[in-house]
Amino acid sequence: MVMDVRLARIDDRLIHGQVATVWAKSTNVNRILVVSDAVARDNLRKSLLVQAAPPGVKVNVITVAKMIDIFPDRRFDSFKAMLLFTNPEDVMEVVKGGVKLFSINIGGMSFSAGKKMITNAVAVDERDIAAFHYLSSLGIILEIRKVVADSRVNLMELLKKEHLV
Given a contact cutoff of 8 angstroms between Cβ atoms, the answer to whether 10 and 109 are in contact is: yes
How many whole angstroms from its chain centre is CA 26?
A: 16
pLDDT band, very low/low/confident/very high, at 2 (cuts 50, 70, 90): confident
Q: Per the residue annotation, which of 16, 25, 41, 100 is the catalytic one?
A: 16
Cα distance between residue 86 and residue 71, in whole Å: 19
pLDDT score of 15 more than 90: no
Domains in the chain and their CATH numbers? Answer: 4-161 (3.40.35.10)
Distance CA 114, CA 99 (A): 30
Average pLDDT for 12-36: 89
Average per-residue pLDDT for the chain: 94
Evaluate if residue 154 carries a pLDDT over 80: yes
Residue 146: per-residue pLDDT: 87
Half-sphere exposure of 83 (CA within 13 A, CB side): 29
Ordered DSSP codes for 46-102: HHHHHHTPPTT-EEEEE-HHHHHHHTT-GGGTT-EEEEEESSHHHHHHHHHTT---S
For the question of residue 16 being annotated catalytic, the response is yes
Residue type, 110: S
